[in-house]
Chains A and B, each alone.
Chain A
Amino acid sequence: MSQVGANGSSGPIPGQSAAGRDEPVVVFENVSMAFGPTPVLEDLSFTVRRGQTRILLGPAGVGKSVLLKLVNGLLRPTHGRIFVFGHEISAMKEQELFEVRGAIGTVFQEGALFDSLTVRDNVGYRLIEEHLPDEEITRRVTEALRFVELEHTLEKFPSELSGGMRRRVAIARAIVTNPRLILYDSPTAGLDPITSTTIIELVMKQRDVSHTSSLVVTHRLQDAFILAMHRFSVETNGMVPLPAHQADEHTSFLMLNQGRLVFDGTTAELVKSNDPFIQAYLS
């Protein structure tokens, strides 16, 4: 397994790092991706550092979901290198990738829950695969479901839940093993505004309570700015707005257009950008 980091040094083993906040969790180096002759992503380079939440914006069909699948190795780039926790995952075999993926939580666009398993078995899937005792699985699953306020759905099947509840169960499944990186693929797509806000609040809670690094894909500006301009309050168990003209310091933006990265910066820089595409997108 390749463990050479982006800077050429040996990378840490997932889950055992003691490095500081600046430690890169995800590094893209000149990554391109094409399906057949059609290029989807071209020459992308960016970094997600420890504790950072990076919001990936862009129009529908621009390759945002493809980018997330590149991060956890579900797809391989046609060019360039991708490092996750210091491992060059773009050069690893599928068997080796399973170990790295153990430290990554993924929330798929439609939840992608296993429809023949109960909520308990869905959320505890990874724990069951690790052959943990039943009592411990139930305890940890209940804990994760409590985080998304769905502990009463333990024995239900995904088909018995609403769209928003399924998405919350998917978040519980992603966080149950306390991953070091969470990938959210349009977690609010197709949901009503109230449910969307609930989901974004959960993403924020994970960011501010567990300080987990994350990459959030969305094409909904409203969700992106709620995430950037609010913080989660443990006292009120809800989100509270940050003071005027302030944004969360650990949250920043990436923007894709026509397969290229057209923006990489903070919330303030995004709002003040003179790029015509960004201005049109934000307006």
Chain B
Amino acid sequence: MALDTLDSAAKRGVLAMQEYALLSGRALSNLFRRPFYAADIFQQADIIGVGSLPIVIMTGFFLGGVLALQSSSTLTQFGATAFTGQLVSFSMIKEIGPVVTALMVSGRNASGMASELGSMMVTEQIDAMRALGTDPLKKLVMPRIVATMVMLFFLTILSDAVGILGGGLVSVMMMGQDGSQYFHNAYQSLEYPDILQGLVKPIVFGFIIATIGCYYGMKTRGGTQGVGRSTTQAVVWSSMLIIVMDFIISRFMIGIFGR
């Protein structure tokens, strides 16, 4: 009995992986096939990118600030408060900026995609779209993937910048440190592999957010309750995958570049 349950759970898992891979692959292959739905990409970029600006700026700023606050109190014990800028910029660009921005965008947009597409599924709007001769993977999924990947890339850069600025303000105004020293350290200590790591992550995370959000949306069954379930699962799985992929990318990059 227990084996049967395990067996069916494993089959469901493999089937879900297969469906997810197929959806992602087919949506991406549509990128190079007409029609391009450029207007839909711009619309999604506006919703995902511009719409997420306030939360990304707020979280980035305060995370930078709290990093400076926490690290400077530790660094003071070793007489190394001058390295606050380096620590904040390192942390923001390589880890906290990409991960927290992705988690914020995931909470806001993976749920939005799952609920929007899920509602369309349960009200037969997706079937209607297919019946009207439009591929929903091309019209609905592909623009969301492209827009999320592109916008998360820029949102992360913005979050990094605002975070370093927030750290700087805390260091100068609350810790009494020298501003030019903070920013000089923050800038000078960075190398290209650090920047590369910080820029590769949002592209991968953007793909995860959009594909997971769309996947759960497109497999929604069971009315409004099903929509709620899909929304929750989309946020949980995308957040979890972001953290897992963050570890894998970090390990991979450190393996290649040694930092």
Contacts and interface: CB of A to CB of B under 8 A. Distances in A.
A161 interface: no
A108 B127 contact: yes
**By DSSP majority rule, is chain A's interface helix, strand, loop, or mixed?**
mixed
Interface stretch (A46-54, A97-105, A196-204): A97-105
Interface stretch (A15-23, A25-33, A110-118): A110-118
Contact of A74 (B120, B123, B127, B134): B127
A129 interface: yes
B46 to A, nearest CB: 15
A7 interface: no
B134 A108 contact: no
Contacts of A69: 127
Interface residues of A, number: 23
B131 interface: yes
Contacts of A94: 135
A110 B124 CA distance: 8
Interface residues of B, number: 14
Given A110-B123, A115-B123, A129-B35, A95 B131 contact: no
B125 interface: yes
A252 interface: no
Contacts, number: 51
B232 to A, nearest CB: 22
Interface in B91-128: 120, 123-125, 127-128
Nearest to A104: B131
B131 A74 contact: yes
Contact of A101 (B35, B123, B124, B133): B133
A74 B35 CA distance: 21
A112 B35 contact: no
Interface in B119-152: 120, 123-125, 127-135
A101 B125 contact: no
B133 A106 contact: no
A178 interface: no
23 contacts: A72-B131, A74-B130, A98-B130, A98-B134, A98-B135, A99-B133, A101-B131, A108-B131, A110-B124, A112-B125, A112-B128, A113-B125, A113-B128, A114-B120, A114-B129, A115-B123, A126-B132, A126-B133, A129-B35, A129-B132, A129-B133, A131-B35, A173-B132
Given A106-B128, A126-B132, 6 more contacts: A69-B127, A72-B131, A74-B130, A109-B124, A115-B123, A129-B133
